[in-house]
Structure 1
Amino acid sequence: MQHITKVYSKAESLSSLKEMITKELKDNNLNPADCIWGTSICSDEINNSFLKVGEDFKGPGPFFFGGISGLPFTGKTGFGAFSSHIPDEGAAVILYGPHVGVTKDGTFGKVLREGQEEPSSSCGSLIAGLNNVKAGNVLNISHNDYQQGQVHKVLIENYDDIKKADNEIIATTETGFNQIKRELTDIIGAGLENLGTKPLLLVGGIIINTDWDQDDYFEIRDISWFNK
């Protein structure tokens, strides 16, 4: 944990995140059981530990906005669909953010997965994108790897700042957070009419993956309400 808090000083357990969301909803006279939820996080199965946060929401959930890296690839159409699923007297919650691994010895960008002897990349998409940019690979947004092409594009646009950082992986994760927040906020803003008068709670941050036999963490960076 000390390796995590040196970088993410406000990191908390997923149980604490769940408690915070429940309190935020109840402080606004909403019950989690009347809410549906969505996520804009990376497709990596390691992030399924995050599903415990939504145990008290209505329906099986969540609605997945994110593809690899966590960018909200479902766009305005996805948000329109999600909005149409909100219970008549209910609300919605969306959790978003990139993820980054940290091993027990404090190596960022890697995590030991169950059944493997050596750590592997986390977030694999962001780290692969960073390596492509550093290698000078030409941007190629193709139909058979469209999402990673978009990740590569974002990192090209932000590489001047990333390469100045003390830790490029942590800086790349920050770039991912900023991009997910920007895109998701734009999508919601452009589709507010889909919500009608129903409230939406948006919670963003950094997911911190740990080795498979340890608990994951989340550092909250943003709490925003729409229609409140």
Structure 2
Amino acid sequence: MTSSSSKTRQTNHILTSSRDRPSLISPPIQSNNSGATCSQCHQVIRSNKSGGDAFQSTLQRVFPGAYGLEDFVFQTKQTLVPEGFYPHVNTLVCVGLCRDEITSPLEEAIENMWGQGFICGSLAGMLFCGKTGFAAAHHHAPDNGRFIYYCFTHIAIDHEGSIGSVYRTRSGMHEKTTACGALAAFTAEIAANKLNLDIDESDIEMSMLRRHIVKQTGLSTDPKNAPDLLKVTMAAYKTITSDLERHVREDAKNFKDRQYALFTGVQIHGPNGTDYCWLGKANLLKNGVLTPIVLSENGPLKTPVRSPTKRH
């Protein structure tokens, strides 16, 4: 974390072209901290204040309004405590992140705030723990308990503003590496026309990642129309979000008194070990209905203007 983390805030939309924007994300609303709200998610659209360097320029362009990690987790707590989500009392936190060691700052920030978490992520943050994994997590809290899910894929932006590049100097590496490595490999396979969608029992997670993202999102596998890493990352985010909502809805059918807070998005690794978090979607599932969560700096959860709907 850095002192600059508090200068970045969340928005629910990425300012890419409509060609690159996944269907789960609606067209952006641009604002200069004017208090405008997103018509879909009802979040206040905030502009990032940056130093103008290459990293900040790319961060603002691709993930405008990204939070610093601790700021993001703190705001989720401020919003959820008034709704009855109490750390170490009645709430189980579930964390779905990539296995990559550089995602650990987000896991640490979450567990520092909410206590030990049930880990449900795999390569790229995909939720391959399945019915058994989700059932196990949901058996670790009472029938009227509260669950918070933080499920994020990840990507890197280096000091030159290059997407996908990160330096892992803490492990002694001084050349660029990639993040997410699994999604970068997937991207390269598509571009080189070497994509294999068969299941490899010696590489279960990676082979499932390829198949599942393509099936869930319709991501192009044509090397002549190959997606870049950003588009693949957003397809992973969309897949994670869809899987999470499906599994939680199944549990909610049997436990009417439970409540579930769902946060999905992208963790961004910046230069010198800095980390940010773009929140793509936030919902509260209560009584079988998904209601958009609006993070409030002072809490509590704000009531959306529109009526709750089954889908968001």
State if a TM-score over 0.5 links the two structures: yes
| Aligned-partner Cα distance in 2 for 1:222–1:145 | 30
Higher relative contact order (CA 8 A, sep 6+): 1
| Aligned-partner Cα distance in 2 for 1:179–1:161 | 19
Which residue does 2:265 correspond to in 1?
A: 205
Counterpart check, 1:134 vs 2:178: no
2:237 is paired with a residue whose SS is: helix
Q: CA 1:29–1:191 in 2, change beyond 3 Å: closer, same or farther?
A: closer
Q: CA 1:171–1:16 in 2, change beyond 3 Å: closer, same or farther?
A: same
| Residue type of the alignment partner of 1:41 | L
| Aligned-partner Cα distance in 1 for 2:207–2:165 | 22
Which residue does 1:72 correspond to in 2?
A: 127
Identity among equivalent positions (%) equals: 22
| Aligned-partner Cα distance in 1 for 2:160–2:58 | 8
RMSD (CA atoms): 2.2
Offset of residue 108 of structure 1: 0.6
Q: Pick from 58, 64, 71 the counterpart of residue 9 of structure 1.
A: 64
Which residue does 1:220 correspond to in 2?
A: 279
Q: Unpaired segments of 5 or more residues in structure 2?
A: 1-55, 288-312
In the alignment, is the contact (CA less than 8 A) between 1:36 and 1:93 conserved in 2? yes
Aligned residues: 224
User: How far does the alpha carbon of each residue in 1:131-168 deviate from its partner, in whole angstroms, 9 at most, with x for none?
Assistant: 11222223231111011112222454402699768x71
Which residue does 2:220 correspond to in 1?
A: 159
In the alignment, is the contact (CA less than 8 A) between 1:98 and 1:206 conserved in 2? yes
| Aligned-partner Cα distance in 1 for 2:265–2:125 | 11
Offset of residue 92 of structure 1: 1.4
Counterpart check, 1:171 vs 2:226: no
User: How far does the alpha carbon of each residue in 1:51-88 deviate from its partner, in whole angstroms, 9 at most, with x for none?
Assistant: 21221224xx2212111011100011111110111257
Q: Pick from 38, 52, 70 the counterpart of residue 94 of structure 2.
A: 38
Q: Mapping of 1:87-166 within 5 angstroms?
A: 90-113=145-168, 114=170, 115-137=172-194, 138-154=196-212, 156=214, 157-159=218-220
Greater helix content:
1
User: How far does the alpha carbon of each residue in 1:140-197 deviate from its partner, in whole angstroms, 9 at most, with x for none?
Assistant: 31111011112222454402699768x7111111111001111111111222246451
TM-score (ref. length: structure 1): 0.89
In the alignment, is the contact (CA less than 8 A) between 2:123 and 2:206 conserved in 1? yes
TM-score (ref. length: structure 2): 0.66
In the alignment, is the contact (CA less than 8 A) between 2:263 and 2:279 conserved in 1? yes
Max radius of gyration: which structure? 2
